[in-house]
């Protein structure tokens, strides 16, 4: 299947997933690379210097229309909708059947992994929820937040493109010289604590 956008002189070959030829392909490649990271439309418009706002919006609209890129918000909505109805994947009869302990006899035995230092650590790991009232150092907080999310500008969570929709928030109970008391959202790309408005 071939889609042509005459204005931009671009041929997109769906079978090979390649953009071929063009007069303005540099801008399209630039937009694609920015879309592949966590950038808002406003940020993309600002970063693409060789195109006007209207042209960038046209490129994004065309890419979406031809299913070359997808709006992550729509994917999240779709996943949320689909995950609410598990019967699309497995019926209640199948659930009932699978809960029967007799079915375990039909299973395929899997080889146990070789013992290693890492496997022993994993087997012995425990969840720790020890909380202290004493505050932690600002530098230590920054390191924890960075370690939990940052990997080359994207998130560390195991998901397609490292873009798992998890946001980190934290609350400070005391005013300090650097961070006033309040709730903050961690922005991993800029490595900043963004103050959040609270009710009341």
What is the arithmetic mean of pLDDT over 126-134? 73
Beta bridge partners, 181, equal none
Q: What digits encode the pLDDT tens for the residues 92-111? A: 676 666 666 566 667 778 88
Q: What pLDDT, on a 0 to 100 scale, did the predictor assign at position 124?
A: 82
Q: What digits encode the pLDDT tens for the residues 39-75? A: 788 888 888 877 888 888 888 888 888 777 877 777 7
Beta bridge partners, 171, equal 183
Q: What digits encode the pLDDT tens for the residues 177-186? A: 888 888 998 8
Question: Could you give the percent of the chain with pLDDT greater than 70?
Answer: 63
Beta bridge partners, 194, equal 185
Long-range contacts of the stretch 58-62 (C-beta < 8 A, 24+) = 58/7, 59/8, 59/27, 59/28, 59/31, 60/31, 60/35, 62/5, 62/8
How is the chain split into domains, by residue range? 2-72, 138-195
Cβ burial 58-75 (10 Å sphere, 16+ → b, else e) = ebbebbeeeebeeeeeee
């Amino acid at each position: 299947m071939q889609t042509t956008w005459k204005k931009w002189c671009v041929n997109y070959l769906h079978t090979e997933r390649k953009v071929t030829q063009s007069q303005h392909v540099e801008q399209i490649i630039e937009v694609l690379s920015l879309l592949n990271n966590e950038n808002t439309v406003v940020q993309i418009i600002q970063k693409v210097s060789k195109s006007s706002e209207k042209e960038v919006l046209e490129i994004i609209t065309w890419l979406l229309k031809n299913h070359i890129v997808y709006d992550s918000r729509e994917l999240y909505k779709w996943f949320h909708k689909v995950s609410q109805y598990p019967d699309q994947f497995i019926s209640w009869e199948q659930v009932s059947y699978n809960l029967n302990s007799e079915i375990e006899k039909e299973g395929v035995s899997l080889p146990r992994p070789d013992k290693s230092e890492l496997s022993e650590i994993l087997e012995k790991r425990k969840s720790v929820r020890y909380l202290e009232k004493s505050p932690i150092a600002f530098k230590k907080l920054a390191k924890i937040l960075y370690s939990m999310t940052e990997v080359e500008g994207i998130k560390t969570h195991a998901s397609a493109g490292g873009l798992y929709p998890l946001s980190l928030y934290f609350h400070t109970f005391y005013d300090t010289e650097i961070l006033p008391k309040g709730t903050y959202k961690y922005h991993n790309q800029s490595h900043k604590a963004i103050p959040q408005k609270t009710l009341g």
